[in-house]
Amino acid sequence: MPKTIPSIRILGTRVDMIQTPEVMALMDRWIEGEPHQLHHVVNTGMHGIMEAHKDPSVASVLDAADVLAPDGILAIIVARFYGYRLRKLDTGPDLLWKFSEIANRKGHKYFFYGDTAETLDLLSASLTSEFSDLQIVGYESPPFRTLTQEEDEAIVAKINQAKPDVLWVGLGMPKQEKWIFEHRDVLMVPVVVGAGAAFKFASGTVPRAPTLVYNLGFEWLWRLVQEPKRVWRRVLLDAPRFMVLVFLQLTRLRKY
């Protein structure tokens, strides 16, 4: 992480006080200035922080990332307690769509890994429809099981042969971040981003919350309605626990 970016610790996890425009500037700088070095970008909030709190191996992965940008209203609220006036509008899964404006203009190449073949087809069509010069050099939907070593090596080889500037990995948190961390020495890509739900949003397979709902911080409720089986546990179980633990941190009743 660049030394100029301040950070805070939330339940022991380093969260960088950075917003989408700054993340995009860093990605562009890394592609053009450090193309032979892999840079891992994490975009997460309460969900990722709670995963790290429960699992030390996840905590190590997140701590090793070059940038961990806050996502979600709860992480934004905690940042504001520490004096950082982050805007909800400038955080979240829109990074993929917004960075595509830069990639379209500068010729940065994309590769998508994760989700279903149908989602990736729709994602590619949606992006190239909006950004006519965007170069998508490949995508891969892995099987929903543990890959064999041969399959894993073949996927890495396919990615490297395509020579993308940005590899977007949409396997879900924390699986995608672990995958990136475990392959950091064999991937020849300057920027790798844990995409989370961005594939579904940008492809249109899951509708985004209305702008007012999003800006007010109620996207979690929208997602609960849209994808109850996927997010109910984090909304109904992890979020209340997160708030209690953060309260203990802020009141200095507990250290992490």
Which residue is listed with tokens 């672990």? 178
The CA distance from 108 to 224, in Å, is 34
pLDDT at 216: 63
pLDDT at 217: 67
Integer Cα distance of 75 and 80 in angstroms: 9
Q: CA-CA distance, 225 to 51, in Å (whole number)?
A: 22
Question: What does the alpha-carbon distance between residue 78 and residue 75 come to, in Å, rounded to a whole number?
Answer: 5
| pLDDT value of residue 224 | 74
pLDDT score, position 3? 55
Which tokens go with 139?
């995508």
Output the CA torsion 46→52→58→59 (10° steps): 120
Give how far the C-alpha of residue 134 lies from the chain's centroid of Cα atoms, to the nearest Å: 20
CB 50 within 8 A of CB 246: no
pLDDT of 61: 97
Query: How many Cβ atoms sit within 10 Å of the Cβ of residue 52?
Result: 26
Q: 39: part of which helix (H) or strand (E)?
A: strand 39-44
Digit-by-digit pLDDT tens for the chain (256 residues) are 555 899 999 999 999 999 999 999 999 999 999 999 999 999 999 999 999 999 999 999 999 999 999 998 899 999 999 999 888 776 677 899 999 999 999 999 999 999 999 999 999 999 999 999 999 999 999 988 899 999 999 999 999 999 999 999 999 999 999 999 999 999 999 999 999 889 998 898 887 767 766 666 677 777 777 778 777 887 788 889 999 999 999 988 888 8
Name the nearest CA neighbour of 58 among 233, 220, 194.
194
pLDDT value of position 90: 67
Query: What would the two tokens of residue 157 be?
Result: 């080889």
The model's pTM: 0.91
